[in-house]
Amino acid sequence: MSELYIPKGYDPLLNEKETEHAIVMVKDFFQMALSTELNLTRVTAPLFVRSGTGVNDDLNGVERAVKFNVKDMGDTQMEIVHSLAKWKRLKVSEMGLMPGFGIYTDMNAIRADEELDNLHSLYVDQWDWEQCIDANDRSISYLKDTVKKIFRCLKRTEFYIYDRYEQIKPILPQDITFIYSDDLQRQFPDKTPKEREYEACKKYGAIFIIGIGGKLPDGSIHDGRAPDYDDWITETGDGHRGLNGDLMVWNPVLNNAMELSSMGIRVSPQSLKAQLEERGCPERSKLVFHSALLDGKLSLTMGGGIGQSRLCMYFLRKAHIGEIQVSSWPQEMRDSCKKAKINLL
């Protein structure tokens, strides 16, 4: 069993019925706030895509996609999405959206290689969003402005829940703090990336770590990121690299940092080529998605994913993501949770 954290003296603030009602409230309120802030229109999205096209999210490049063959399509192989990171860019381009406007959707995925714990499930549900931008928007200032808009949505959602459940007190800071991954590495050179996140989140309450996936000064990376959607190699003009990042908050129930969103400005043809070279996989340039991007056929975009169950877990002060969503868990984990009043659905 993966590591399970049991908060001492944990006692849920909402019972199961209240929790189910509150989940709907959080999701409905937040997605409306997000779509309004970022000018996003809702679209439907695929659960699976054709294998071998390069459209699926490769995550860290080692996770196995769940695959199956379709009888009525000549046994064509399909795979369950890991996320819609690249599919959304195709959709925005196909729709011909103007800069400043975009899409969002409910993304449902299966990640069979996930290490199961309080925050990680086989079942992944998130709001995947993508916004068309122009060349001038491919900047660190535009990224930060967008992060601030998303943080405002989080703040409004927090108040909305507190207004209805007064036992759930607001805890988000007034503002979000921006930190570059290389500065964080220099600040805590003897700590692991997770330990650095812990220290920064505990100090500031809410942070956005910029530059996820690119090499740090010591040659390591803060966290894995595929080379073909987020831009983590472009120089920002202030001595750093990376136009992407992770939005994280301090979770007092788990006494740890908690990632709510991964997002970024997407690769241009130039940065895609450079990132494929750096990761040693230039052959991907021949795939359908990559060829279209390198030929300049896709819109410039930025986008990301925001965990739905994680968001609900955070705002409703739950100790385990299984208190928000129905998934499968090792029996040992179920037994331990039951003893600790952690009600896995």
Q: Are strands 256-265 and 301-307 parallel, antiparallel or unpaired?
A: antiparallel
Q: How far apart are CA 196 and CA 160, in angstroms?
A: 31
- Is-catalytic flag, 190? no
- Is-catalytic flag, 28? no
Active-site residue (options: 130, 137, 228, 246): 246
Q: Are strands 301-307 and 123-132 parallel, antiparallel or unpaired?
A: antiparallel
- Is-catalytic flag, 259? yes
- Is-catalytic flag, 138? no
Active-site residue (options: 83, 185, 262, 309): 262
- Is-catalytic flag, 35? no
Three-class HEC string of the chain: CCCCCCCCCCCCCCCHHHHHHHHHHHHHHHHHHHHHHHCEEECCCCCEEECCCCCCCCCCCCCCCCEEEEHHHCCEEEEECCCCCCHHHHHHHHHCCCCCCEEEEEEEEECCCCCCCCCCCCEEEEEEEEEECCHHHCCHHHHHHHHHHHHHHHHHHHHHHHHHCCCCCCCCCCCCEEEEHHHHHHHCCCCCHHHHHHHHHHHHCEEEEECCCCECCCCCECCCCCCCCECCCCECCCCCECCEEEEEEEECCCCEEEEEEEEEEECCHHHHHHHHHHCCCHHHHHCHHHHHHHCCCCCCEEEEEEEHHHHHHHHCCCCCHHHCCCCCCCHHHHHHHHHCCCCCC
- Is-catalytic flag, 57? yes
Task: Check the CA dihedral 243-282-49-92 and report its sign.
Answer: positive
Assess contact for 269 and 276: CB atoms under 8 A: no
Active-site residue (options: 111, 241, 310, 317): 111
Active-site residue (options: 106, 199, 223, 259): 259
Active-site residue (options: 57, 125, 137, 197): 57
Assess contact for 256 and 277: CB atoms under 8 A: no
Angle at 274 between CA 218 and CA 306, to 5 degrees: 80
Active-site residue (options: 126, 261, 309, 327): 126
Catalytic sites, residue numbers: 57, 111, 126, 246, 259, 262
